[in-house]
Chain A
Amino acid sequence: MGQSVTRHLLDICDAAVAAAVRAGADEAEACAARVRTVNVQLQKNDVHIAKSSDGAALGIRIIKAGRLGFSFLNRLDDPSVSESIEAALGIAAAAPADAHNVLPDPVAIEYQRDLNDPAAGSFGVERAVESALVMLREARGYDARVTVDFGEFAGQWGERAVVSSRGVRASEPSSAFHCGVLGMARDGDKVSSFDYQFDGAREAARVDPVSTARRFAENVVNSLGAVKGDSFTGPVILAPKAAAEVICYPIEAAVSARAVQKGTSRFCGKLGEPVASRALTILDDSALPGGLGSASFDREGMPSEVLPLVEGGVLRNFLYDAYSACVEGRRSNGHAGGGPADVPYVSTTNVVMSPGDVSLADMIAGIDRGVLVTRFSGNVDPVSGDFSGAVKGGRLIRRGELAEPLCGTMIAGNVFDLLPGVTAVSRERERMLGAVVGHVLLNDVVVSGS
């Protein structure tokens, strides 16, 4: 998108902020986006639907006498914006005052350069169909028993802007492309576990539908003929997607300053203390090249600092937005999340797990009896850290080798209690949407089978 369009979006935000202040707000912030979306979906092993649309979004946050009001609309015309401002003021009038409702002061932004695919404007339905079909053919060609229930190749690009009455004024273009494939394998009466694989990138050309489809097909075929395993307590390897859900998700929740302040973080009072084994290092990296969580500024227009969360097992940082920073009388470190439709909340950007020094193969070779969890389907309570769920596409590990696929097997534990027992992180890592995660070896996990 051209510079003129970006300026126009800033102009719209300027006007909305000025109108909100004129209408009586003490402070106002406008967050807007314009996005073009192209999406081709697969269903039942065929092309299902092609979609293209242009969308707009404007979120208006106002503060009046310490009271917070917020409104969102998907139109940018003046009458609609005026009506939305009145709605935000009406909400604020009904809300109790809170001295920590503040907007941040502007901070100089160093703009990242690789957030936008310069060729995005020429991405059309034809290209999305072509890429989706490549994915479908690769998955079906791998094995005739593979069936694709749903798949898609999609791109969206545009720009976003944040303007506030405090002087924040930021905008940038960005793009994101992704493919995904979901389905199973069926062999007579045998139905495999479901699997979902995806890939995402800033540039359309960097999305890899072939390897995505191959990973999916391998997983569903390998989980055919699964058997129920035994019950035992022992080592479990969480593959990257499972590790992201079981390990990273509760850590992300626990490093939110808002959670710490509300007393719902297990990391409360533990800054600088060990919370995990030395094998675990996790970074929040808003500048990860190509990362889909990368951005030059957060939802409030603040640059996001690159921060170690857990470094060699030691808790290093909490993440702040303007509200939580105000509670502690400090500055935001740029981790306000959400889009124009959201009241800002604390969020990570890209969660990056540092690689370990052991290969997955060596990890498996070192286990006499354990389980490899490809996908975890269950509950993770980010507050307590308790998790319990079914092993999907899992494999038994017997005498250092991958053995039969598992079904009807569950794992349970408390992730915060298990973190000191993280024995290893694999050298290999998988890039996900907004995360880079390795295989994680946990000890003493309760495995329930037959």
Chain B
Amino acid sequence: MREILNGIVAESECWLELRAHERRALSVAVRKGVVESAAHRTVSGVGARVLVNGTWGFSSAASFERDDVLRAARDAVAAAVASSSGRLKGVGRLQDCSLAVGDFRSGNAEGLAARSTEEKTALAVDTEARVRASSPAVRSAMARYSEIVDRKWIVSTDGADAHLEDAKAEFLAVAIAGEGDEMTTAFHGVGVTGGLEDLFAALSPDGIADHVSRIAVDLLSAPYAPGGEATVVLNPELVGLLAHEAVGHTVEADFVLSGSAASGRLGQKVASELVTLVDSGPAVIGGPTAGGVVLVDDEGVPAARTVVIDRGVLRSYLHDRETAALFDVPPTGNARAWQFDDEPLIRMRNTYIEPGASSLEEIVASVKEGFLLRGAGSGQADANAEFMFGVQEAYEIRNGKVGRLLRGATISGDAFEVLKGIDMLSSGFEWGLGFGACGKGQQARVDGGGPYVRCRVMMGGR
């Protein structure tokens, strides 16, 4: 493969990047005792990206044959030429950097391959059955195991020549409890760059089943959360969501150039001095198994640990080689493509807030009236840093004591205002966003996490 790609790149008259990508995926989804979906998917081919007349062109071939790849490269040139007349301001240059050469491995492809399809199917079947058996109030349940194993070769005219192997696994359990017309849902998802041992390192499949059924049943009798501004303690999963969704997207350099809330604020205080926010490819904090691990990005740039906010001050945006040149900074290794037929976009990897010095007990004890919030629902955020997240479990805090569970809570606010208000962080650290995917036209596997933090947000409820 490398020889074919290098041969084509060597003959190119323009800047050319070829990315061969083979993805093998397995997923098994079980709902109420029925295997609804058990699927093996293989998607493979080569993406060709060119820069001609200051304009990007892209095409792809669902093949590894030399002639097909060559045709894709020519189509990409034709697309760039055809669109270049409409481009107002051409891409000046791509930032020079030391591009990756060699072999890079993450995850545990062998470990996943060594476990049988039967075992992985049983994992979903047994967990789903356990959720339903846990309580007569559980009406329905779902469990899903999935894995993706990637092999990539990235070669470009300016020196990238990397071979990458990566394997990620994830697991989800959902409980739906009901009483009359009332229904409540609880879910727990985990995702890792690694094998089954890593996937269930924090909580076993049975533990996950018991957790979701208990929460779904408890939510049935829980009153609705009230609306209004409140002091809250966010768990690491929600901190990860805040770091990724509400802050991270605003510092993606393509959004910055379009005028996001982080635009023009480099060097400014944007958060409490207790806050250091990082987006890291290798994700060394908490071990190498975070769900968004990227060692080399899809432009062939080694994926760095990027300190976005250092003790409250905005220090860096997230870049590909085009925006890095515009800002005249080193690229940060954030250019990612989902499949061979996608072009690289600026995406996050593992985005987190670094831990502080308090214990969770101290943080809860400090809250006179507020809420302890656990578990992220779906989240959305605008480029103006306004965000809205669903919260699975909201517990009242009164006089430093955690009280009853409430349902239907959401939180919203201006992310940077929330960051400025963070006044306590716990010393522990957890990843919590490895399950699922971030969407920005394409999917990307990401992770997010942090400590428990105390801050003020707008609560939505009834």
A71 in the interface (beta carbon within 8 A): yes
A15 in the interface (beta carbon within 8 A): no
B420 to chain A, nearest CB (A): 16
Contact in complex: A71, B40 (CB < 8 Å): yes
A-B contact pairs, 23 of them (CB 8 A): A44-B257, A47-B86, A53-B59, A55-B341, A68-B35, A70-B39, A75-B63, A84-B42, A149-B254, A186-B259, A194-B382, A258-B36, A263-B32, A343-B39, A378-B390, A379-B390, A383-B176, A383-B183, A388-B460, A389-B460, A408-B412, A408-B458, A412-B410
Collect the chain B residues with CB atoms within 8 Å of residue A83's CB: 42
Query: In this complex, what residue of A is CB-closest to B43?
Result: A74
B321 to chain A, nearest CB (A): 14
Query: In this complex, what residue of A is CB-closest to B182?
Result: A384
Collect the chain A residues with CB atoms within 8 Å of residue B83's CB: 40, 47, 49-50, 125-126, 129
Please report the C-alpha to C-alpha distance between residue A150 and residue B249 in the assembled complex, in whole angstroms. 14
Partner of B386, one of A54, A56, A384, A407: A407
Contact in complex: B82, A392 (CB < 8 Å): no
- Chain A interfacial positions (CB closer than 8 Å to B): 40, 43-56, 68-75, 80, 83-84, 87-88, 90-96, 98, 100, 124-126, 129-130, 132-133, 147-150, 183-184, 186, 191-194, 231, 258, 262-264, 266, 341, 343, 345, 377-379, 381, 383-384, 386, 388-390, 392, 407-408, 410, 412-413, 416, 446, 448
A174 to chain B, nearest CB (A): 20
Partner of B58, one of A49, A55, A100: A49
- Chain B interfacial positions (CB closer than 8 Å to A): 26, 28, 31-32, 34-45, 55-63, 72, 75, 78-80, 82-83, 85-89, 116-118, 120-121, 125, 139-140, 176, 178, 181-185, 227-228, 254-255, 257-259, 261, 341, 343, 377-378, 380, 382-384, 386, 388, 390, 407-410, 412-413, 441, 458-462
Collect the chain B residues with CB atoms within 8 Å of residue A50's CB: 55-58, 79-80, 82-83
Contact in complex: A132, B254 (CB < 8 Å): no
Partner of B75, one of A52, A88, A132, A133: A52
Collect the chain B residues with CB atoms within 8 Å of residue A95's CB: 28, 35, 38, 121
Collect the chain A residues with CB atoms within 8 Å of residue B45's CB: 74
Query: In this complex, what residue of A is CB-closest to B41?
Result: A72
Please report the C-alpha to C-alpha distance between residue A414 and residue B375 in the assembled complex, in whole angstroms. 21
Contact in complex: B183, A87 (CB < 8 Å): no
Contact in complex: B259, A446 (CB < 8 Å): no
Contact in complex: A262, B32 (CB < 8 Å): yes
Please report the C-alpha to C-alpha distance between residue A105 and residue B185 in the assembled complex, in whole angstroms. 36
Give the most central of B140, B383, B441: most A CB within 10 Å: B383
A56 to chain B, nearest CB (A): 6
B246 to chain A, nearest CB (A): 12
9 closest pairs, A vs B, by CB?
A: A448-B227, A50-B83, A410-B460, A149-B258, A379-B390, A191-B384, A49-B56, A50-B79, A125-B82
Contact in complex: A388, B58 (CB < 8 Å): no
Partner of A91, one of B38, B183, B185: B38
Collect the chain A residues with CB atoms within 8 Å of residue B35's CB: 68, 95-96, 98
Collect the chain B residues with CB atoms within 8 Å of residue A96's CB: 35, 125
B411 to chain A, nearest CB (A): 10
B88 to chain A, nearest CB (A): 5
Please report the C-alpha to C-alpha distance between residue A383 and residue B141 in the assembled complex, in whole angstroms. 12
Partner of A94, one of B38, B78, B382: B38
Collect the chain B residues with CB atoms within 8 Å of residue A379's CB: 377-378, 390, 410
Query: In this complex, what residue of B is CB-closest to A408?
Result: B458
Please report the C-alpha to C-alpha distance between residue A69 and residue B62 in the assembled complex, in whole angstroms. 24
Partner of B40, one of A90, A133, A345: A90
Collect the chain A residues with CB atoms within 8 Å of residue B388's CB: 377-378, 389-390, 410
Given A70-B37, A93-B118, A378-B388, output 16 extra A-B contacts at Cβ < 8 Å: A44-B258, A47-B83, A47-B87, A54-B62, A68-B35, A72-B39, A73-B41, A90-B40, A91-B117, A93-B117, A94-B116, A94-B118, A149-B259, A194-B382, A263-B32, A343-B36
Collect the chain A residues with CB atoms within 8 Å of residue B62's CB: 54-56, 74-75
